[in-house]
Amino acid sequence: MSIRVILASASPRRRELLALALDEFDILPADIEENLPEGLELTQGPAYLAAQKARFLADQHPDALVIGCDTGVFIDGQMLGKPKDAEQAQSMLEELSGRVHQVITGCCLCLEGREHIFQEETWVEFYPLYKEEIASYIATGEPFDKAGGYGIQGKGALLIRGIQGDYYNVMGLPIARLTREIGRFLLENLD
């Protein structure tokens, strides 16, 4: 049986990673407000937002398998989003310098009114960074469309001492686990 698959994300990185597992899928970014409800544990934010994105498109395409994703960078009990400017990028990178932080990607699968939500966690350690090194990295423009202000798959790799967990999760899509979760979800939900 052939099922239409929709990735509810505009991320070129997620598109590239999903193409490792699926030959055909559509890209339809979910245009939603990305706000977390009061009282939600911050580290549950990626799974919550992934579900909101997937549900938004699943309502419009109930016969398609919709994949929603959201990635957050967490340190000291706060979530670092995408920096709005160079000053904010510098602040984030200074905070990550020489320390370990957590990257969480939430994923939600929706099909015919059923859903499955999971999240993957990876720990990332940065080298201690010099101010000149931070300024040079910010000048590349790379930090501005990435949670936490860095991209592990680009020049941000030069900042990272090591990781514990799924490398692709840090890019925004834990593709190996996602592939397995899709397989289980389809087996459980298709007649």
Mean pLDDT of the chain: 94
CATH no. of 5-189? 3.90.950.10
Mean pLDDT of 61-80: 95
- pTM attached to this predicted model: 0.93
CB burial of 101-127 (b: ≥16 within 10 Å; e: otherwise) equals: bbbbbbbbbbbeeebbbbbbbbebebe
Question: Per residue in 147-191, pLDDT tens?
Answer: 999 999 999 999 999 999 999 999 999 999 999 999 999 988 765
Structure tokens at 4: 């239409």
Beta strands in 99-177 (DSSP E): 100-111, 114-126, 160-164
- Among candidate residues 59, 70, 85, 191, the one labeled active-site is 70
Is 70 annotated as catalytic? yes
